[in-house]
Amino acid sequence: MSKLNHIVILTGAGISAESGIDTFRSEGGLWEQYPIEQVATPEGFAADPALVHNFYNMRRAALKTVKPNAAHIALAKLEKGLHARGGSLTIITQNVDNLHEQGGAENVIHMHGILTSLLCQFCGHRWEFHEDTSPNDNCIACQRSAGPRPDIVWFGEMPYELDRIDQVMSQADLFVSIGTSGAVYPAAGLVSEARRRGTKTLELNLEESQGSYLFDESRLGKAGDIVPEWVSEVLTA
């Protein structure tokens, strides 16, 4: 493998599922108990903020019970290794957990938000928060009641940091997709954008995805197995 200096990685639910995080498709998980329209849309929050706060309180509590797996830790190792030789790694994640950070990664873009942050719907202030919330909580900046909401991109809302994502994609030697079906836009368009720019592409996934045919190479298996193997290849090239 030729030496790579600037790598951009998109991670999806598959990498966190191996740590025990519920996904949309998890049987018996939280998402099966609540209609998406009620807990993951602005309209659902407006209709029943208590239900939404309770749902994300449960997700936040569940996050405290899991740990980063070998794939998260390997990506943090890759970040440090690339930095040591003057390169860079940017992780763009569709996941709202903080397992990349727990695993040691620092340069992470949470395009769909993160469970451990709140956003004031009035003044736009956001802050780190790890405990339970309720509909009558005050914003720590503007002090308005009922201001805080989960800092999560809900259906119908625009993902975060699209300009920054475009910037790092323009500088990438390699684009890698890990643990994602490639079905949700705009993340689904990143491999096509990489191909248009002439950037090499690699998919690491449990099984073939809808977009597997778009990648230069596709490797199948558990993220905890194939990600550390690939990272070792990169760092020894």
Place of tokens 């209609």: 35
State how far the Cα of 118 lies from the Cα of 191, in Å rounded to an integer.
Answer: 31
Q: Which of 105, 119, 116, 118 is nearest to 11 (CA)?
A: 105
Q: Of residues 6, 110, 112, 130, which has the active-site annotation?
A: 112
Cα four-point dihedral sign 56, 59, 65, 70: negative
Nearest to 221 by CA among 60, 82, 70: 70
The set of residues, in sequence order, having a beta carbon less than 8 Å from that of 225 and lying 6+ positions away, is 70
Neighbouring C-alpha atoms within 13 Å toward the C-beta of 137: 19
Q: 117 - beta bridge partners? A: 128
Tokens at 47, concatenated? 């209709």
Is-catalytic flag, 53? no
Residues noted as catalytic: 112
